[in-house]
Structure 1
Amino acid sequence: MVESFKRLKSEMEEISEEQKNIREGQRQVKENFGIIESECKELKRETRLLIQRSARNQVKLAPFSLVYCK
């Protein structure tokens, strides 16, 4: 009977440690997801700025392209 209690206690400690590891893994995944989400937002912002700059440059260069097409 004592042996079964010791074994049960040992198994419970093992399960507790596994649960702790799972929670830590979940925390790390959540943290990494937050970092990725932040980087994604920054890339979208940079892409939007590049598109705006490109559009401005095309507007500026449009009169020159008409001159060379004649």
Structure 2
Amino acid sequence: MTSSWPDSRTLGRRVVIRYRTGGTAQSGRPELTDVIGHIRAISADVVEIERRDGTTATVLRADAVTWKPVPDQRR
């Protein structure tokens, strides 16, 4: 996994980002979820990801745990 925040070099790339949802898991730890898609916008504090179905997800840097590039899907 990559620890730095995505930057302009990752714009348009397909990535997975794991982030905190704001909830609490049954274990008592912060609840985490993943989003997979192409980076459509990046700022110092936010990344917008376009999912396969065309919807977008906004991930705050403060909530992101980790991320990494992933290969494009095969068609």
> Which category describes the TM-score, using the shorter chain as reference length?
under 0.3
Which one has a larger percent helix, Structure 1 or Structure 2? 1
Highest RCO, 1 vs 2 (Cα 8 Å, sep ≥ 6): 2
TM-score, normalised with respect to structure 1: 0.15
